[in-house]
Amino acid sequence: MMTNNFLYLFYFQMTGNSKYSSGMVYVTLLILIILIQGKPLYGSEHKPLGEISKEISHYADIALKIIDLAVFGKAQNRSYERLATFTDTIGNRVSGSKDLDLAIKYMYNALKQDGLENVHLEPVKIPHWVRGEESAVMLLPRNHTMSILGLGSSVGTPKGGIEAEVLVVESFEELKRRATEAKGKIVVYNQPFVSYGETVAYRASGASEAARAGAVASLIRSVTPFSINSPHTGWQWYDPGVPQIPTACITVEDAEMMARMASRGTRIVLRLTMGAQTLPDADSFNTVAEITGSEHPEQQTTVRPIISKRSQLGTAK
């Protein structure tokens, strides 16, 4: 039996894998080193490397059993199947929405069925943001209706929308260099995808950076390396003291198309309409469960399903 409570959590994350490789074994063992050592999690000193290696070697068979269960056993593809069921059944889980309530209930029941201990709900207040009706239509140089999704916490446009010329930039640095051109325009970020951690800054701060330059709205290229003309949204933040302007994501294809047009000197005009609004905070819950260790039950690990936490931050569509 495992001596550390964190191993079950690692096992839970492994259950959706469908390809076996020696690399998985090494990753498993590496994580076990961290988990079994345990001391940094409780503020103690690290064990000597030799002692860790000796200790972890005793868990090689258990690690392989976990991998075999996930890859070849009863847990094969289980994470994928659960995710498919969840998304098919619940759908988008915007902060404060009824779908979020359904998601919380779903995860609460799933944790109970999986046999975790002390599964319960903690009442919390969360932002209540409503996307509303929205559209983006290119008027010049040709008529073209774009696929968009408002970014979480965005304000809406005035009634009738915003009609303005577009300024396409690839980075915050380019926006600063061309700040005098941004006044009264819709800034379109065609930022290249580097990594999610780095590129997501344009989603988080793009609106405020555009507003500082005098823009009336901003659109970001979806933060993803792949696209099938599909916008990918998420939460964004307004900087204090900076005007709040409407902001949404557009597809990679439309962002690149406008970048090509702009590089030729073509004038681009859009009409952006967004009915987004923020309502008073809504009642919701944190979904909490505990994992009791087999040999050290006093060292309990609290688990908050990411589906609930992310939704309350508004990151889910």
Which residue type occupies 114?
D
Mean pLDDT of the chain: 84
Q: Tell me: do 150 and 243 sit in the same domain.
A: yes
Q: Tell me: do 137 and 167 sit in the same domain.
A: yes
What is the Cα–Cα distance from 182 to 169, expressed in whole angstroms?
10
Number of domains in the chain: 2
The residue assigned the tokens 């990594």 is 195
The answer to whether residue 61 sits within a structural domain is no
CATH at residue 264? 3.50.30.30
Q: Which two tokens stand for residue 152?
A: 């979480």
What is the Cα–Cα distance from 38 to 293, expressed in whole angstroms?
13
User: Average pLDDT of 31-38?
Assistant: 49
Q: Tell me: do 108 and 160 sit in the same domain.
A: no
Q: Tell me: do 104 and 220 sit in the same domain.
A: no
Q: Tell me: do 166 and 115 sit in the same domain.
A: no
Percent of the chain with pLDDT over 90: 61
SS3 of residue 215 by DSSP? coil
What is the Cα–Cα distance from 102 to 19, expressed in whole angstroms?
32
pLDDT bucket at 30, cuts 50 / 70 / 90: low
User: Average pLDDT of 231-238?
Assistant: 94
Q: Tell me: do 269 and 136 sit in the same domain.
A: yes
Q: Report the pLDDT value the prediction gives residue 15, as an integer from 0 to 100.
A: 40
Q: Which two tokens stand for residue 46?
A: 């690290």
Q: Is the full-model pTM beyond 0.85?
A: no
Task: Note the pLDDT tens digit of each residue in 106-125.
Answer: 999 999 998 888 999 999 99
Phi, psi (degrees; rounded to nearest 5) at 205 = -120, 0
The answer to whether residue 24 sits within a structural domain is no
Alpha helices in 201-266, H assignment, sequence order: 201-212, 252-263
The answer to whether residue 59 sits within a structural domain is no
What is the Cα–Cα distance from 200 to 245, expressed in whole angstroms?
18
234's torsion region: left (phi>0), alpha (psi -120 to 50) or beta?
A: left
Taking the alpha carbons at both ends of the chain, their separation in whole angstroms is: 40
The answer to whether residue 73 sits within a structural domain is no
Q: Which two tokens stand for residue 94?
A: 């915007």
Task: Note the pLDDT tens digit of each residue in 74-115.
Answer: 888 888 898 899 999 998 888 899 999 999 999 999 999 988
Q: Is the pLDDT confidence value at 296 over 90?
A: no
Q: Tell me: do 116 and 155 sit in the same domain.
A: no
What is the Cα–Cα distance from 158 to 175, expressed in whole angstroms?
25
The answer to whether residue 208 sits within a structural domain is yes
Q: Report the pLDDT value the prediction gives residue 79, as an integer from 0 to 100.
A: 84
Q: Report the pLDDT value the prediction gives residue 308, as an integer from 0 to 100.
A: 42
What is the Cα–Cα distance from 231 to 252, expressed in whole angstroms?
8
Q: Tell me: do 120 and 174 sit in the same domain.
A: no
E strands, the chain, are 117-130, 134-140, 144-146, 148-150, 162-169, 186-189, 217-221, 247-250, 269-274, 277-291, 301-303
Q: Is the pLDDT confidence value at 18 over 60?
A: no
What is the Cα–Cα distance from 79 to 178, expressed in whole angstroms?
47
The answer to whether residue 41 sits within a structural domain is no
What is the Cα–Cα distance from 271 to 159, expressed in whole angstroms?
12
| Contact in structure between 189 and 219 (CB atoms under 8 Å) | yes
Q: Tell me: do 99 and 228 sit in the same domain.
A: no
The answer to whether residue 107 sits within a structural domain is yes
Domain residues for the domain of 271 are 132-275
Q: Tell me: do 88 and 108 sit in the same domain.
A: yes
Q: Which helix (H) or strand (E) holds 64?
A: helix 60-71
Task: Note the pLDDT tens digit of each residue in 154-198.
Answer: 999 999 999 999 999 999 999 999 999 999 999 999 999 999 999
The answer to whether residue 86 sits within a structural domain is yes
Q: Tell me: do 138 and 269 sit in the same domain.
A: yes
What is the Cα–Cα distance from 232 to 200, expressed in whole angstroms?
11
Q: Tell me: do 157 and 226 sit in the same domain.
A: yes
Find which of 9-13, 93-97, 128-132 is predicted with most confidence, using mean pLDDT. Answer: 128-132
